[in-house]
Amino acid sequence: MAAEQKGQRKPPTKKVPMREQAPEVRRHNFEEVALGYSQEEAVAEASKCMQCRNPKCISGCPVEVPIREFVNLIRQNDFMGAAAKIKETNSLPAVCGRVCPQETQCEQTCIYGTRNEPIAIGRLERFVADYARERGEPLPPIPPKNGRKVGIVGSGPAGLTCAGDLVKLGYDVSVFEAFHKPGGVLMYGIPEFRLPKAIVKAEVDYLSKLGVHFNYNYVVGRIRTVKEFMEQDKFDAVFIGTGAGAPSFMNMPGENLVDVFSANEFLTRVNLMKAYQFPEYDTPIRVGKRVAVIGGGNVAMDAARTSLRLGAAEVSIVYRRSREEMPARLEEVHHAEEEGIKFQFLINPTGVLGNEKNRVIGMSCIRMELGEPDKSGRRRPVPVSGSEFVMDVDTVIVAIGNSPNPIIMQTTPGMEVTSWGTIVINEETGMSTLQKVFAGGDIVTGAATVISAMGAGKRAAKGIHALLGNQLPTATLDAPKNEAPPSGNRKRRKVQK
């Protein structure tokens, strides 16, 4: 330290900024907000990386991206090589580069970031993933099929990650998706302006080229049960990654009025069904002039910003705690504020008011104040008596979270679930209480992040390989092994409310 202080210390550096659509422009369109780095910008940012001998960034990454190595390849202008390096461990880099909360993961632990803004790892990941996708990336060598079949239920981030890891190990992988398109929450939940659907499709196409079979319109638990998968279809293992699919409501009067939506419904109509292109697409959506979005997470931000783009004049986030407790990413809150979303803190809705046609004409609310910390460590909001008032709104979107969809659990006897309805798993292997049935993502943790679901998919892939890999038929024992057995140093999973 003393030696360093002798010289003139440079002022802390900032990340090379990423270009964005101007707020007043983007609030009227569904095109992507962030525009990405140019080659020059990416190299400039990567060149700041210190290439630490013992890097800390990778320990912050749930899917163990070799960050130092890929950043170094960018420094050498080998963008295709950098993309291939990331894809060794991460099947969805263009997605992660856009929606991961890097500020609490790799960038939080970046050693360069202790004095400066950290290296913009997320922006660099996005840059190389886009660069390679646009130029057509070659497929990595795939080992010969090892004769083992794995079924994956759900094609969201957990399922896609598990599928990608297993297909690269020689497994015969089939994905079963209830919707008509792959991607799960990446497709129906996250808006086009944050994650263009063409990118999700390209990442899935890449997995198809690696040999993953995708089945759509396939509701597991209805068409076929997990037990039938194992016994009749002879899957050697099944991974359940069905997400947190059932929307929670406030259970307040008036919540079933016509202009009250769950965020799931609102976003699915717009994102998956493309209601923003109605009537070219048949699915309708309606949004009024004054919209209240209840909740303070990323989904609430997405619903609010989508409402604005659909033509609402005034959109408010209504959150019962204060700004500090909001679970949404800072970047999302910042983008929402730039676009003109209003934030109404310490307010709890108590009822939705309707007219004789069941249309919303207001929302009754009560003001809150923060009391003692609750179990989650956040200060618990308590109502301020006598502070009731009516908010003048004509559309209400409820974005207070989701609980697990019960279809699989109801049709899979013997699989232990928690009182929340989430699947109980072995934290090391990802296996449920049923032999050879694995699970991961929101179906295990309750609503969390894309990257934590991906980490869970990766853990289950390792668990499946550890279980099945040493029972392989002799003929395939020579197949290259490019993944270490599970080490047990499981990554911390961040669970958001």
Taking CB under 8 A as the binding criterion, the range among 39-47, 282-290, 372-380, 432-440 that sits at the site for other proteins is 282-290
Q: How far is the CB of 155 from other proteins (least distance, A)?
A: 14
Q: Does 279 bind other proteins (CB under 8 A)?
A: yes
- In whole angstroms, give the CA distance from residue 216 to residue 210: 18
Indicate the SS3 state at residue 70.
helix
Indicate the SS3 state at residue 316.
strand
Q: How far is the CB of 136 from other proteins (least distance, A)?
A: 25
Task: Identify which of residues 216 and 389 has a Cβ nearer to other proteins in the complex.
Answer: 216
Task: Identify which of residues 32 and 259 has a Cβ nearer to other proteins in the complex.
Answer: 259
Q: Which of residues 384-413 bind other proteins (CB under 8 A)?
A: 405-407
Q: Does 231 bind other proteins (CB under 8 A)?
A: no
Q: Does 361 bind other proteins (CB under 8 A)?
A: no
Q: Which of residues 24-43 bind other proteins (CB under 8 A)?
A: none
Binding test (CB under 8 A) with other proteins, winner from 21, 59, 208, 283: 283
Work out the end-to-end distance of the chain between its first and last CA atoms, rounded to an integer number of angstroms: 41
Q: Which of residues 454-493 bind other proteins (CB under 8 A)?
A: none
Sign of torsion over alpha carbons 268, 270, 272, 273: positive
- In whole angstroms, give the CA distance from residue 469 to residue 171: 10
Taking CB under 8 A as the binding criterion, the range among 73-81, 138-146, 273-281, 309-317 that sits at the site for other proteins is 273-281
Q: Does 5 bind other proteins (CB under 8 A)?
A: no
Q: Does 227 bind other proteins (CB under 8 A)?
A: no
Q: Does 218 bind other proteins (CB under 8 A)?
A: yes
Q: Does 419 bind other proteins (CB under 8 A)?
A: no
Q: Does 268 bind other proteins (CB under 8 A)?
A: yes
Please list, in sequence order, all residues whose beta carbon lies within 8 angstroms of the beta carbon of residue 73, skipping any fewer than 6 positions away.
79, 81, 82, 85
Task: Identify which of residues 285 and 346 has a Cβ nearer to other proteins in the complex.
Answer: 285
Q: Which of 350-358's residues contact partners 24+ apart within 8 Å by CB, and which partners?
A: 350/252, 350/388, 351/252, 351/253, 351/254, 352/252, 352/253, 352/254, 352/255, 352/257, 352/260, 352/396, 353/254, 353/390, 354/254, 354/257, 354/258, 357/258, 358/257, 358/258
- In whole angstroms, give the CA distance from residue 59 to residue 49: 16
Taking CB under 8 A as the binding criterion, the range among 270-278, 329-337, 413-421, 451-459 that sits at the site for other proteins is 270-278
What is the total count of residues that contact other proteins (CB under 8 A)? 42
Number of residues written out for the chain: 497
Q: What angle do CA 64, 463, 88 make, to 5 degrees?
A: 30
Take residue 334 and report the two structure tokens written for it: 């910042």
Taking CB under 8 A as the binding criterion, the range among 23-31, 200-208, 258-266, 437-445 that sits at the site for other proteins is 258-266
- In whole angstroms, give the CA distance from residue 14 to residue 118: 8
Binding test (CB under 8 A) with other proteins, winner from 357, 377, 471, 487: 357
Indicate the SS3 state at residue 156.
coil
Q: Does 78 bind other proteins (CB under 8 A)?
A: no
Q: Does 273 bind other proteins (CB under 8 A)?
A: yes
Indicate the SS3 state at residue 224.
strand
Going by C-alpha positions, the residue among 422, 446, 443, 425 that lies closest to residue 434 is: 425
Task: Identify which of residues 52 and 246 has a Cβ nearer to other proteins in the complex.
Answer: 246
In Å, how far from its chain's centre is CA 154? 14
Binding test (CB under 8 A) with other proteins, winner from 269, 321, 335, 465: 269
Binding test (CB under 8 A) with other proteins, winner from 180, 289, 342, 481: 180
Phi-psi region of 421 (alpha: psi -120 to 50; beta: other; left: phi over 0): left
Task: Identify which of residues 215 and 322 has a Cβ nearer to other proteins in the complex.
Answer: 215
Please list, in sequence order, all residues whose beta carbon lies within 8 angstroms of the beta carbon of residue 364, skipping any fewer than 6 positions away.
349, 350, 351, 352, 353, 388, 389, 390, 391
Q: Does 258 bind other proteins (CB under 8 A)?
A: yes
Going by C-alpha positions, the residue among 277, 239, 260, 247 that lies closest to residue 185 is: 247
Taking CB under 8 A as the binding criterion, the range among 175-183, 194-202, 334-342, 440-448 that sits at the site for other proteins is 175-183
- In whole angstroms, give the CA distance from residue 216 to residue 341: 36
Take residue 390 and report the two structure tokens written for it: 């009516």
Q: How far is the CB of 188 from other proteins (least distance, A)?
A: 8
Residue 348 and residue 364 in contact, taking contact as beta carbons nearer than 8 Å = no
Task: Identify which of residues 162 and 273 has a Cβ nearer to other proteins in the complex.
Answer: 273
Task: Identify which of residues 48 and 274 has a Cβ nearer to other proteins in the complex.
Answer: 274
Q: How far is the CB of 281 from other proteins (least distance, A)?
A: 5
Q: Does 245 bind other proteins (CB under 8 A)?
A: yes
Taking CB under 8 A as the binding criterion, the range among 20-28, 210-218, 296-304, 386-394 that sits at the site for other proteins is 210-218
Query: Interface residues with other proteins (CB under 8 A)?
Result: 178-180, 188, 216-219, 222-224, 245-247, 249, 251, 255-259, 261-262, 264-265, 268-269, 273-274, 278-284, 286, 357-358, 405-407
